[in-house]
Structure formats: C-alpha cells, structure tokens
Amino acid sequence: MSRTLAMILAGGRVDELGILTYLRPKSTVPFGSLYRFIDFPLSNLMCSGIQRVGILSQYRSSSLVEHIGTGASWDMIGRHRGITILPPFKAHQASDWYKGTADAVYQNLDFVSSYLPEHVLILSGDHVYNMDYSEMIQFHHDMNADVTAAFVNVPLSGCSRFGLGKIAHDDPRGGRLIDYAEKPEKPISTWASMTVYLFNYHVLLEVLEENAHRTSHEFGRDIIPALLSTYRVYAYKFDGYWAYCRTLDEYWKANMDLIGAYPRIDLSKWCLRTNLDHEAIRDRGPAIFGSNGSGKGTISDTRLYHGVRVEGHVERSILFPGVHIGQGAEVRDSILFFDTQIGPGAKVERTITDIGVSIGKDSVIGKRDGKIVTVGMHAQIPKGVSIDEGSTIHPKVLAPAFLKKDYGKDSVIAPEHT
C-alpha cells in the first residue's frame, strides 16, 4: 500500500442536485446526519492502508478545504502520509479550469511523479460505499494488469446512465474487460463503472500524455475505451452497497437507506470518519427531546446526532447537528442539514433543507409522496407560508421575498424576488 498514491476527483458540481451544489462541490454535500460525500473515499483509503492522497478541487472549493483541514480526521498526518489539495492553476498556456477528469490528473503529474508510485488509484469523491482497496490491488497484481477498473452490478432499468463494461469470467473477483461504453443507448451489460481506476504508474503517464492532444479528457468516455486493444485492462467486481446520488431522488433514497427496520446501510459496520471540528460538531451538546428535556418531543425511524432538539414530532428523517424542531411541528420523510430551524406548528414533508434554513411558524412545506422540495442555504421562510411539492427556494432568500402565502407545485423562489 505504501507504493500506491490516491487521487480523488472532488471538484465538480452536479446540476441535477440543484441548490445543494450552488455553493459547494458535490463532494462536500452533507450525508447521513453527520458526514460528507468525501468522507467515504477518504475513510476507505485510511482503512485500506493508503496514506498518500491528492484531492483535485475546482468548483467553490472553500468548503472542501475547511472540511479536509489537516487530514488528521483520517489519520493522514506524518512523514510518509498526508493529504494535498490540488486546485487548478494557470500553466504556460492558459488553463484556468480542468477540462475533464483525465486533464485534472494530467495537470498534476508533477505531484504524482514526485512520489514515484507503483500504482495510482483514481477515485470519485462523491459516491457512497465501503470498500477495501487493498483487495482490488491484490486482484490487479494477480492478473498482471496494466489497468483495473471497479464495477458494480446495477438494475437493467436505468443502467444506461452509467459507463458499462462487458467482463470476461476469468476469476470470481472479476476478469478481462472485453468492452466498455460510456452511457450507451442500448446497455452492453449491467456492470456499471464506479469511477475507481487503478493504473500502473508508467501506463498512466503514457495514456495521459496521449490524451493531452485530444479535445475530450474523460477517463470513462475517452481513456478506458482506448486502452482495451493495447493494454491489459481488467474489471474488479464489487458486491457491496454503492450509491451514485446524482439526482435529488437518488440522494434522498440513499439517506433513507440508513433508516428502517432493516436498513441497507449499517454504518456501524463501515469504516467511516469525518471532521468533527467542521461545523463545530465536536462542541455540540447532547440531543434533547422536548423543552428543557421534558420528553414531549417524539421521533420514530429517524437518524440524528448531537445538538438536535425535538419539541415536535419527527418520522423517517435525517437530522444533522443543530436542527431544532419547534413545539407541535411535524417533520416526515425529510433531510434537514446543520442548524435548520423548524418553527412551532410547521409541517414539513419530503423536504431537503440546507445549512441554516429557517421555516416559520405554522408553515406547510412539501407533500407526502410528492416531488422533493429543496430549500437553499440560510433561506428564511416566514410564518404561515404554504409551499407545494417540487418547489425550490434558492440560497439566502429572506422572508420579504415571499410576496404571497401559497406557492403551487414546482415553484421557484429566487433572491431577485426581493
């Protein structure tokens, strides 16, 4: 493991997640009452014994920098271990932003080469899964591979959203990658790429130099298909839980997989850490139910952490530190980020609120079994407002922007309305 360098692709935003990635990259979107997406690959690396990591940042990287800190949360401090954040920079020829995932690594080959690794492990920074990369590396060695990519089996319906691989049956763990297609109209298989690539160092140098002269610079679309005829490319089959979370519905479902009588994700069995200093998580008090601990607040089938106060009723929801549910308020099927305040008597269903949101007294947000409502960072919804399913309230929209009491399905309330 000491000869493996990891590079995490963590700089992009995803339009389908809407306001959740307006002010942050997808890699730092909160998840599961405490964590961020970037915690999953970082924790996997820590538990796999890989201790040199470069994080390729780009879009609004301040939240990523704050969350990573020194890297101590993942035990990445020491003479032979550490995390380096690698933002885009201006080269001799104008190059402000990474042109794609392959170009992001190419622009940082000096960083890669400084460690003279045997292998380079390239990871997406925004997927939910628990994986021991050492097992994939062992498979790579056993197959004498030049490149190994990880794949997971997905349902046939909708699988064309992914890069798909056709895999030979060489070994129970995987086999030679026979064919690969990025988001094909007609699926060639149900094995989806996890955006986990293991390259022999010298092979990576060769293919990135070749790709640098092209107009497209993506590992999935450009690099992997081009390698099949000239290199030993293998597919490693992963059989654990994996969530893509590219859309609001996928994100909501992955969070809901943490709760229920038989949750699909049992984090107590996962190797997972986060930065407890970010968002001052470490300094939060205990969770409290009812005013002054009276016990009048009730919850069922809900995941929460320190600093939460519930004076109303919560069902099937995810509550982050600092969330306050006022007296008589009802919250169902929702995900409430750090320091969300739900006023007394309010009713919130199938809603995702970002950090620091305030929902006023007696307001009604969302609809059970309806489209998800999203409320942006530090938005303030005044008392007595009704907002129907599928609506979007942009970040930092203040109470005066709400010019009426009732907003229909798929409404959009933006700052320019103030």
Task: List Cβ neighbours of 230 (8 Å cut-off, separation of 6 or more).
Answer: none
**pLDDT of amino acid 221:** 87
Could you state, in order of their start, the residue ranges of all structural domains in the chain? 4-259, 284-417
Answer whether CATH 2.160.10.10 is correct for domain 284-417.
yes
- At the topology level, CATH places domain 4-259 in Spore Coat Polysaccharide Biosynthesis Protein SpsA; Chain A (3.90.550)
Strand 119-124 and strand 191-200: pairing?
antiparallel
Confidence of residue 89 (pLDDT cuts 50, 70, 90): low
CA angle 344, 342, 326 (to 5 degrees): 40
Summarize pLDDT for 21-51 with one digit per residue, the tens. 999 999 999 999 999 999 999 999 999 999 9
User: What confidence tier does 14 reach under pLDDT thresholds 50, 70, 90?
Assistant: confident
What's the whole-number mean pLDDT along residues 359-370?
Answer: 97
User: How much is the pLDDT for 166?
Assistant: 97
**Model confidence over 161-201: pLDDT tens digits?**
999 999 999 999 999 999 999 999 999 999 999 999 999 99
**Fold match flag (4-259 vs 284-417):** no
Overall pTM surpassing 0.85 (yes/no): yes
CB distance 316 to 302 below 8 Å: yes
For 220-255, letters b (16+ CB in 10 Å) and e give bbbbbbbbbeebbbbbbbbeebbbbbbbbebbbebb
pLDDT at position 253 is: 97
Q: What is the pLDDT of residue 383?
A: 97
Q: How confident is the model at residue 96 (pLDDT cuts 50, 70, 90)?
A: low
| 190-222 pLDDT, tens digit each | 999 999 999 999 999 999 998 888 877 889 888
**How would DSSP label each residue in 356-410?**
T-EE-TT-EE--TTSPPEEE-TT-EEPTT-EE-TT-EE-TT--GGG--SSEE-TT
Q: Is the pLDDT of residue 402 over 70?
A: yes
* pLDDT attached to residue 174: 97
